[in-house]
Amino acid sequence: MNSELMRQLKQLAEKTIADCTHTKQAAFSQQPMDFLLPSGDEKYYAFWVRDSAMMAGSHLVKDSNLRRYLELIATYGQNGPETRPLRHGLELPPYVVTDHINYTGGAVFFPGTYSDTDFQGDGIYGNLPPLDDNYYFVAMVGDYVSQTGDTTILQNEYAGVRLTDHIKKAAEGYYIDSETDLVYSPYKKFAVNWGFVDSVAMEGRLLFASLLRWNAMQVLEKLFPGQGYADRAEKLASQIVRVFYDEATGWFWCCDAAEKQHDVWGTAFAVYLGLLNDRQKALTSQTLKKAYQDGVGVHGYIRHILHEEDAVPGVTAWARCTVPVDLYQNGTYWATPLGWFVYTVGLTDLDFAEQILQDFLCHTRDNMGLGTPYEWMSRDGSERSGLHYGTSGVLPYLGYLKLCGLQP
């Protein structure tokens, strides 16, 4: 382990969380409260479930703040036991967890809007909400219990329901394939796979949401041992590898539909979670290293899709995306997956993994005045968005921790 590298990564993670924490007066709180926002520049001015959950895995979020976020989601951010119809054919399935919560306490279940009314879009971001927030809520509760040792919160009631039941219901999810227990999406009435591809429409069984579902089952097994969650996790793990893993290349497919593509982020995340055997891990580690050398990464920022596998070169990276190529999620570079990526590469080449992290930190220091770490940027850095971005600054630290065999 490079102790100086670890120190710098942790320092960046702590700074980023501080930059992303903004004190706001909310309608549901008598006193101003700290909100952990996705970025320091308040590009997203509400409380986002997934970003907060991803940063909570660092155990660097204050205990009291993290507890308040769980209470906020359980009180305001989860649908009840009945399907709720919205305008334009949108629906909220039972117990679905919101995408983000406004400072009024209003729940916004779809990306691309701050409306917490029955008008939450026209379906461009899915007919059902993104598939990941249910599982991120479960993960956040697990991180809170792990960080604080406080299991009594599980028996507390929010909106008349025990937290235990909130997360168990959330983990059941929706759009679940009955044969494999994998998450799927029908294209004509689709749901976003997960929030960092919310401009992308995929169909069939989905890799990333299924990985999050597997992780949620692991969390529930730790919280409620002996209640069958270990068996469900084992089944999911075997099906994820069977359906999505490409033995010939070491990549995972993003889905199993006709227009499936190799998923750079999902591949790294699957290895990070521990789903492959030693032979498969070695192959995938070497595959990701070569991909980085061939241009899938720059200064530690990682593309979603391999250049040579763009659906229509020069037009779009993803097969179905609502934004132009080389903007937002359609062919730009992001630091969010860096921790997963360097963990995977480091399994066979620790020096190279550490070089990537050093390059990322150097780029961050050199461009701090411009707002690094960014949410995303173009390869040459001329286009960039999301300044002092939370997951960009926190997840590289988590990846290196795990690579060094350490816990947060």
Please give the pLDDT value at position 66. 98
Burial of 350 (0-12, 13-18, 19+ CB in 10 A): middle
Please give the pLDDT value at position 258. 84
Q: Which of 49-53, 77-81, 173-177, 258-262 has the lowest mean pLDDT?
A: 258-262
Contact status, residue 94 vs residue 40, Cβ threshold 8 Å: no
- What amino acid occupies position 249? T
C-alpha atoms less than 13 angstroms from C-alpha of 118 in its C-beta half-sphere? 7
Is pLDDT above 90 for 33? yes
- For the stretch 107-125, pLDDT in tens is 999 999 999 999 999 999 9
Beta-carbon contacts of 99 under 8 Å, excluding residues fewer than 6 positions away, are 48, 49, 50, 108, 109, 110, 111, 129, 130, 133, 195
Beta-carbon contacts of 368 under 8 Å, excluding residues fewer than 6 positions away, are none
Contact status, residue 337 vs residue 302, Cβ threshold 8 Å: yes
Residue 90 included in any domain: yes
Residue 388 included in any domain: yes
State the CATH number of the domain containing residue 197.
1.50.10.10
Omega cis (within 30) before 373 = yes
Token pair of 398 as six digits: 């988590």
The residue-averaged pLDDT of 180-205 equals: 96
Contact status, residue 380 vs residue 374, Cβ threshold 8 Å: no
Is pLDDT above 90 for 370? yes
- Domain limits at 30? 3-403
Please give the pLDDT value at position 265. 98
Is pLDDT above 90 for 130? yes
Whether the pTM exceeds 0.75: the reply is yes
Which residue's structure tokens are 């009840």?
80
Neighbouring CB atoms inside 10 A of 382's CB total: 7
Q: What distances in angstroms separate CA 250 from CA 187, 245, 272, 306, 351, one per listed residue?
A: 27, 7, 14, 13, 21
Please give the pLDDT value at position 388. 98
Token pair of 361 as six digits: 């930190």
Q: Quick one: which of 177, 83, 81, 174 has its CA closest to 131?
A: 174
Residue 408 included in any domain: no
- For the stretch 283-335, pLDDT in tens is 999 999 999 999 999 999 999 999 999 999 999 999 999 999 999 999 999 99
Confidence grade of residue 187 (pLDDT, cut at 50, 70, 90): confident
Please give the pLDDT value at position 357. 98
Contact status, residue 77 vs residue 101, Cβ threshold 8 Å: yes
Which residue's structure tokens are 């997203």?
44
Residue 389 included in any domain: yes
Contact status, residue 252 vs residue 246, Cβ threshold 8 Å: yes
Say how far apart CA 117 and CA 127 lie, in whole Å.
15
Number of domains within the chain: 1
Query: What does R_g of the chain's alpha carbons equal in angstroms?
Result: 20
Residue 73 included in any domain: yes
Spell out the SS3 assignment of the chain: CCHHHHHHHHHHHHHHHHHHEEEECCCCCCCCEEEECCECCCCCCCEEHHHHHHHHCCCCCCHHHHHHHHHHHHHHCECCCCCEECHHHCEECCCCECCEECCCCCEECCCCCCCCCCCCCCCCCECECCCCHHHHHHHHHHHHHHHHCCCHHHHCEECCEEHHHHHHHHHHCCCECCCCCCEEECHHHCECCCHHHCCECCCEEEHHHHHHHHHHHHHHHHHCCCCCHHHHHHHHHHHHHHHHECCCCCCEECECCCCCCECHHHHHHHHHHCCCCHHHHHHHHHHHHHHHHHHHEECCEEECCCHHHCCECCCECCCCECCCCCCCCCCCEECCCHHHHHHHHHCCCHHHHHHHHHHHHHHHHHCHHHCCCCCEECCCCCCEECCCEHHHHHHHHHHHHHHCCCCC
Burial 168-184 (b: 16+ CB within 10 A, else e): bbbbebbbbbeebbbbb
Say how far apart CA 345 and CA 276 lie, in whole Å.
14
Please give the pLDDT value at position 202. 96
Please give the pLDDT value at position 92. 98
Please give the pLDDT value at position 259. 87
